[in-house]
Amino acid sequence: MQLAIRNGWVTDRDGNRLKPDSKTAHEDVLFDDEPLDPAQGVVLLLNKPVGYTCSTKDHGRLVYDLLPDRFRTRKPALSSIGRLDKETSGLLLFTDDGTFLHKVISPKSNVPKVYELALDRPLKGDEAALFASGEMMLESEDKPLKPAQLEVLDDTTARLTLHEGRYHQVRRMFAATGNHVAQLRRSRIGALGLEGLAEGEWKALSDNEKAKIFA
């Protein structure tokens, strides 16, 4: 790094050459006109497309393929905060901060997750009351689901807000009513959305954006 600084390869965003004692924020430092990788403690937001698996080992297309290759060797490693199945798109978070990860997924945080969905068959009309009851049981489970809020958009499309994250929960909830989720997209976690982020793109979150998760 000392050699890079001496050669003028390290600058700020205005093109000013930095010195070893320069007081410049990490996100404002450029190396050879490219920003530095996010510092440890980063939280990344990805707009996941359909067809990618939330795994580091499975065959086929992985969500990590959408991030720079060098991110695979970060220490500590990046982990997804929860998962989206292969056929679900939308908001997916990654972090190398274990404390932050557990805060997001902890039941005590009660972070709402919003899903937009399309169904194979028209809604019957009683799903909202069932989902909000706090008494709905899924097959092979012995604990009822937390109340969830269903907003009906039309006969076959809806928005569902969950306050927990069980395996394939949205799909299993509608299967229990005799319906099938044809398309599923997570659009929001807390007050954090995907505004301005195209499908397949990612960005590092600012502190203000991270705070929106718990807003």
Q: Which residues are catalytic?
A: 85
CA torsion sign for 40, 211, 92, 103 is positive
| b/e sequence 121-151, b meaning 16+ C-beta within 10 Å | eebeeebbebbeeeebebeeeeeebeebebe
Burial of 59 (0-12, 13-18, 19+ CB in 10 A): exposed
Are the C-beta atoms of 20 and 3 separated by less than 8 Å?
no
**What span, in angstroms and rounded, lies between the C-alpha atoms of 28 and 135?**
51
Please report the DSSP string for 53-83 in residue order: BS-SSSSS-BGGGGS-GGGGG-SSPPEESS-
Collapsed DSSP state (helix, strand, coil) of residue 128 = helix
Helices and strands (DSSP H and E) totals, the chain: 5, 12
Burial of 169 (0-12, 13-18, 19+ CB in 10 A): middle
